[in-house]
A and B are shown apart, each in its own frame.
Chain A
Amino acid sequence: MRYEGNPFEKWLVYLLLVLGGVIMLFPFLWMVSTALKGHIYVIETPPSLLPKEPTLANFVEAWTSNRFQLYFSNSLVVAISTTVLSVLCSAMLAYAFARFVFPGKEVLFYALLFTMMIPGLVLIIPQFFLAKTLGLRNSLWGLVFVYVAITTPLNTFLLRGFFEQLPRELEEAVLIDGGGHFTIFFRIVVPLSTPALATVAIFTFLASWDEFVWALTAIDEMSKRTLPVAIAVFQGAHATEWGLVFAASLIAAIPVITVFVSLQRYFMGGLTSGAFKG
């Protein structure tokens, strides 16, 4: 299906792509438009995409009210802690799988692969009781630990593949010079693997920033909520304040879109290596 130089055909292809693109973008545009409308214009007939009197009032209200900034910082703390811990743990795990022979290696690797196929919600009932026992209910650490556990298998799988392809000459040189595996890992493997680590870090950050179900289940205390839960709860309680809900949603989406657009190269690379599902 290569480009064959037929101008009519070329324009038809672009036309179809633009048409599809409009369908993909339209719900978002509608969300932005609703967020920019004042309260009275949100349900109007006929509805209009361009707000008559666009206002940032919803954004200001969302940002300044309802502990929104607290939720934002909760989400940020959880996502950053998860990313650091998960990338470190899975890189070390992946290094062990890529470089060592040890008893139980096969079993462990298949256990990791197996949990990738299990629906996350299967675990949620025991996780709920476990968090209760460990005093992790209503704690941001309770979110972080579970997110690290959820993201580790996939991250390990991807990083192992990358580490296996790294040349071993440098590492052998370190061993001959009397250095240990921790030196190799932190001084050679980690610096050489920046692209792979970045990919894994981006996926982990986005996944924990957006996670909803575990945060909904583990947290009852309002002050410990993360953004997805806060937005869903707010929408449930104020079913008609769409402008405000969408303003809050758009603010919540800013980190995601920023990360995605600026680091798209790493993102797509990780995706097409086939280990991730968005």
Chain B
Amino acid sequence: MKTPRQRRETTTAYLFMLPGLLFFTIFMIYPLLKALQMSLYQWSIMPGRPSQFVGLSNYAQAFEDPVFWIALRNTVLYTLVTVPGQMILAMLVALLLNYIRSGRVLFRTIYYLPVITSWVIVSILFKYLFQSPGGLINYLLTDVLHLIAAPIAWLRNPTTAMVPIMSLGIWKGIGWSMVIFLAALQTIPGELYEAAAIDGASRWQRFWHLTLPLVRPTVVFVLVMLVIGGFNVFISVYLITAGGPMKQTEVILSYMYHQAFDFLEFGYGAALSYMLAAIILVLSFLQIRFLRRPVELY
């Protein structure tokens, strides 16, 4: 039995939650369920022509759609390149920043600047840098470094068009992982290193056997977040190549967006986005399940 006081408390709790839950339910939970429903329909936007229930055939359509496989391949490739790229460079910078005594805030600010700049601005910026023939990257590669003889048409060639998108992903993301890694490194007591040094551990051994195990939960957290971010890549692709040339640089979300808002294939678009959500959930679960282990200091 509930006492009147408990009941009053429950009412108060719901009153506190009301405004937030209203927004959350209407604009998050409802669309989440609605997308699932739409993915099962041949969704019609014509008035008077009802949408048709088609079961899982939108999902089946994806498996037979060659562009879906290209988009999936590009998304996976983007994640495989940018996640380790960001993590290794971010860890390196974090170790260097943890080593120095003055100037840490200044360097941290500089490395963090790309993170806070909007995706729109940096995407346009990288499009400009990778222009052909007059872009800065081509100029550096041909006339300054003499690595290539003629400018590369980065954005017009399917094999090179992912280069600006991936380098943007790494460049923009380093700062975020670096800040998280640095905070974790700063919690490690210095005496541990002194003890390891006295025992004759080399720098690499200290990093591999001492630092890394101690910051392991942080590394796993960053990995999970970056993989989610990698599979979510959209704005850079949409603005730099728009999935072109010939749909060769589509990623899942850009393909979904084009299907929905250019070709009005809303049911198929919803199915594509649900497949992406499923992939992300499964990957996140697997990473947490298999990589997170309790760390013991003693």
Contacts and interface: CB of A to CB of B under 8 A. Distances in A.
A70 interface: no
Interface residues on B, range: 35 or more
Interface in A207-221: 209-210, 212-213, 217
A32 to B, nearest CB: 11
Interface string A1-32: 11100000010011011001101110110110
Contacts, number: 258
Question: Which of B111, B121, B128, B260: most chain A CB closer than 10 A?
Answer: B121
Given A212-B119, A272-B179, A25 B113 contact: yes
A176 interface: no
A27 B122 contact: yes
Given A30-B136, A127-B27, A92 B19 contact: yes
Interface in B254-296: 256-257, 260-261, 266, 269-270, 273-274, 276-277, 280-281, 284
Given A149-B26, A260-B116, A217 B12 contact: no
Interface in B229-271: 229, 231-232, 234-235, 239, 253, 256-257, 260-261, 266, 269-270
Nearest to A119: B232
Given A1-B207, A17-B96, A152-B20, A146 B27 contact: yes
Nearest to A148: B23
Contacts of B93: 17, 20
A185 B107 CA distance: 39
Question: Which of B34, B89, B193: most chain A CB closer than 10 A?
Answer: B34
Q: Name the prevailing secondary structure of the A interface residues.
A: helix
A88 interface: yes
A92 B100 contact: no
Interface of B: 9-10, 12-14, 16-17, 19-21, 23-24, 26-32, 34-35, 38, 89, 93, 95-101, 103, 105, 107-122, 124-126, 128-129, 134, 136, 139, 143, 171, 174-176, 179-180, 183, 185, 190, 193, 203, 206-207, 211, 221, 225, 228-229, 231-232, 234-235, 239, 253, 256-257, 260-261, 266, 269-270, 273-274, 276-277, 280-281, 284
